[in-house]
Homo-oligomer: A and B are copies of this chain.
């Protein structure tokens, strides 16, 4: 279909970020990617700690090029006595404030929900934290790996005890924080819709907790435990209800996933393996039977995969329409033709680093060129301070210079 060019979806939404580290900045990156004007408040000097996480270059981390993209950076020392008034003046020009300080911290600075409502009637305030704003643990410091552990995800990221006694693993990225950020974005957008509809003049407070954001993804695990005392156990590389589904190692030492767990797919796989008779063998004829004899089946599939290169096995599997994939590394992602065709992996000009590989904006919006949605890369600390104070607070260059001299900005 053809679609006329459309403008960024959130072009009329302005968001003030009082955030740092990952969760709140991930929420605002999501909104900024879809066109929102995100004003990120950072401490003068080194700014958000993520600027120094991961590989460092002269102008900071490459991660920051992505994490800070499409946002405007304004410096403000929130511990300065003049800061709260400036924050409220900025908030007065925004639809949403997203913050992830420790619960109670903003209140210590006088930045209460009521103060935001007074500054900007109808305001939406999204508060992201480890444990939420209420409850006995709310004052504890939040932390990604802790939230993932208490949300029940970490326990499941392991091989079962009969295979390995090693501890469960991190997912390797800060997935708990990112998921929490997505729930923050959903809360912000939903509350904006509600406030616009109702014309309410008070503040809508959205409370997003790390452990809770992870926990809500646990499928039927909680009711199955409550009713049957069944504690869901880690299953390693398999799917325990569908056989065969597992990772198998190729002759050239790549792991490939094969999910041939319907009777039809299994018959096709058996033929590829040169053992078509397996499909009618009573031990493997249906999923129930295959699950009972899963170990022997996985051994045979493993032998077949081990006898060829990953590329050769995958070519056969794809031609046969069997769901399968190499387990992608960063190198595989960068080389993937499909990601390139959809500009999901793309090189973007970054004034601080030169050309930087970025992930495309998710979700893809028809009618907007995907690359053009990355309007700019992560800015330097305070790059937009003068611009924003002039544009939104109508401050003169002299006023701004005075604040800078005093160390407020």
Given contacts A173-B156, A247-B168, contact A219 B329 (CB under 8 A): no
Complex contact A366–B219 (CB within 8 A): no
A145 within 8 A of B: yes
B169 pairs with A236, CB closer than 8 A: yes
Q: Does residue A402 face the partner (Cβ distance < 8 Å to B)?
A: no
Q: Are A4 and B212 in contact (CB under 8 A)?
A: no
Q: In this complex, what residue of B is CB-closest to A221?
A: B330
Question: A272 at the A/B interface (Cβ < 8 Å)?
Answer: no
Q: Is the Cβ of A218 less than 8 Å from the Cβ of B170? A: no
Q: Chain A 255-266, CB within 8 Å of chain B: the 1/0 string?
A: 101010000000
Binary B-proximity of A233-258 (CB < 8 A = 1, otherwise 0): 01111110100011101000001010
B-contacting residues, A364-378, CB 8 Å: 364-367
Known: A224-B55, A224-B62. A182 touches B184 (CB 8 A): no
Q: Please indicate the chain B residues that have their CB under 8 angstroms from the CB of A238 in the complex.
A: 170
CA distance A357 to B357 in the complex (A): 44
- Assess whether A220 is interfacial by the CB under 8 Å rule: yes
Min CB–CB distance A35 → chain B (angstroms)? 8
Say whether A226 faces chain B, with CB atoms less than 8 Å apart: yes
Cα-based distance from A208 to B364 in the complex (angstroms): 6
B363-A220 in contact (CB<8A): no
CB pair A135–B325 under 8 Å, yes or no, is: no
Apart from A1-B113, A67-B219, A145-B259, list 17 A-B contacts with CB within 8 A: A12-B193, A54-B241, A64-B220, A132-B364, A136-B337, A136-B341, A143-B323, A150-B333, A150-B336, A179-B179, A192-B193, A206-B363, A206-B364, A215-B344, A218-B330, A223-B357, A223-B358
User: Given the complex of chains A and B, what is the CA–CA distance between A364 and B332 in angstroms?
Assistant: 39
Q: Cβ of B222 and Cβ of A334 under 8 Å apart?
A: yes
Q: Given the complex of chains A and B, what is the CA–CA distance between A321 and B3 in angstroms? A: 55
- What per-residue 1/0 map shows which CB atoms of A32-68 lie under 8 Å from chain B? 0010000000000000000001110000011111110
* Complex alpha-carbon distance, A257 and B146, angstroms: 7
List of 4 A-B pairs having minimum Cβ-Cβ separation, nearest first: A156-B172, A63-B220, A225-B330, A226-B357
Contacts of A202 in B (CB 8 A): 3-4
**Which residues of chain B have C-beta atoms less than 8 A from A225's C-beta?**
330-331, 334, 357
Residues of B within 8 A of A237 (CB): 166-170
Contacts of A149 in B (CB 8 A): 257, 325-328
Which of A73-81, A157-165, A392-400 is the contact stretch? A157-165
Cα distance, A149 to B310, chains bound together (Å): 14
**In the complex, chain B residues whose CB is within 8 Å of the CB of A175:** 153, 175, 217
Q: How far is the CA of A365 from the CA of B231 in the complex (A)?
A: 30
Return chain B residues, CB-CB under 8 Å to A4. Answer: 202
| Residue in A179, A218, A220, A247 whose Cβ sees the most chain B Cβ within 10 Å | A220
- Whether A150 contacts B231 by the Cβ 8 Å rule is no
Cβ of A204 to closest chain B Cβ, rounded Å: 7
Residues of B within 8 A of A216 (CB): 359-360, 362
A10 adjacent to B323 (CB under 8 Å) = no
Closest to A61 in B: B220
- Would you mind naming 29 contact pairs between A and B with Cβ atoms under 8 Å apart? A9-B204, A54-B224, A55-B230, A126-B363, A134-B342, A135-B341, A149-B257, A150-B325, A152-B333, A154-B327, A155-B172, A170-B237, A173-B217, A175-B175, A178-B217, A183-B362, A187-B363, A189-B193, A204-B367, A206-B363, A212-B339, A213-B362, A215-B339, A215-B359, A222-B359, A225-B334, A226-B347, A226-B356, A231-B331
A223 to B235, CA, bound (A): 32
Check if A172 sits within 8 Å of B186, measured CB to CB: no
* Assembled-state Cα–Cα distance A55/B324 (Å): 27
Identify A362's interface contact among B6, B212, B232, CB under 8 A: B212
